[in-house]
Homo-oligomer: A and B are copies of this chain.
Amino acid sequence: MTSRMKAAIFVEPGRIVLDEKPIPDPGPMDAVIRITTTTICGTDVHILKGEYPVASGLTIGHEPVGVVWKLGSQVEGFREGDRVIAGAITPSGHSYACLCGCHSQDGAGTRHGFKAMGGWRFGNTIDGAQAEYLLVPDAMANLAPVPDGLTDEQVLMCPDILSTGLSGAESGGTRIGDTVAVFAQGPIGLCATAGARLMGATTIIAVDRVPERLAVARAMGADHVVDFSQVDPVEEIMRLTDGRGCDVTIEALGRQETFEAALRSLRPGGTLSSLGVYSADLTIPLGAYAAGLGDLRIVSTLCPGGKERMRRLMSVVASGRIDAKSLVTHRFRLDDIEAAYDLFQHQRDGVLKVAITP
């Protein structure tokens, strides 16, 4: 019986390669799962391009679906063979950050218990999910059993895409009857659109320029779609809302243009919910900010994780509220993951998300 596994490893900017590594062994609180399906995230492409630095030799990926293979000695409540997922963010549950509800900024092990993005460990500070096996830390807080009847592809969006996307609507404080605009309709933005729908917004405006994505946006719940290559999106949103603006806007790309348009599209007293990963300083224009007197809120959210979050998201899928698997447009074997990266990073062939199976 082999103790080696295949894994997609970051070597240097521009190079993620499939190579071999030892299968990890769980510590007392950990579990090791055998990956059955995983996927590639836009963040992984940032890593590939060297825009987000990780250690050379690290296995990439933070979206695991799998089967419990080995449990740490202290892990209770699970059995080998259980089908599970784990969130992209794996909070310890016991840091000061976790205990005050700020699980994604978990600083377990640090003096104060807070660490920016500290809850994001897979493919960032520990080996990730694009491999045959994955060590899940703090397994009791993070392993989430997959309900019977759900396929891997149905739950594949839960660890990150659905969790992040829905959090855009949640952190925005979306209420029944709200007007919500979502800027960019990649996988995260599409789930933000779905989240606005799920929370009772009644005028949902999706902005992008790719016709296929705008079509999916409609399927996910958008009432209106705006092609920003054809019209000024802020003007169009003001036209659609008869000059009122939005209660909530969601930024799902990570650029100044979308951030600024999201701010300009708000009504006084509205909330900009920011999901994008930025790569440069942002500017808040004085006028769009009403000189600080507009009762505006700008909130950012890092993908909520932990098994309770995963349980809820899988319940969203199981109940048929959102057809998450429709985002999976392409399928690859782990052996072909380099090709998958190539397709995904260049957004060829209408790709939204790829399913990778070892």
Residues of A within 8 A of B (CB): 27-29, 73-74, 76-77, 91-94, 96-105, 107-109, 111-118, 120, 138, 140-141, 166, 170, 175-178, 195, 198-200, 202-203, 223, 242-245, 254, 267-269, 274-286, 289-302, 306-309, 311-313, 315-316, 318-319, 321
Contacts and interface: CB of A to CB of B under 8 A. Distances in A.
Interface of A is mostly: loop
B102 A101 contact: no
Contacts of A104: 269, 293, 295
B99 A312 contact: no
Q: How many copies does the complex hold?
A: 4
A286 B278 contact: yes
A174 to B, nearest CB: 9
Nearest to A113: B308
A279 to B, nearest CB: 7
A62 to B, nearest CB: 13
B318 A202 contact: yes
Nearest to A280: B286
Contact of A77 (B98, B109, B140): B109
A98 B29 CA distance: 17
Contacts of A313: 177
Contacts of A93: 92-94, 98-99, 141
Given A93-B98, A176-B198, A280-B286, A74 B74 contact: yes
Candidate in A138, A274, A312 with the most chain B CB atoms within 10 angstroms: A312
B283 A105 contact: no
Contact of A292 (B92, B175, B245, B300): B300
A86 to B, nearest CB: 13
Contact of A138 (B94, B115, B175): B94
A28 B203 CA distance: 35
A202 B111 contact: no
Contact of A294 (B101, B105, B141, B243): B105
B318 A254 contact: no
A25 to B, nearest CB: 15
Contacts of A107: 268
A278 B292 contact: yes
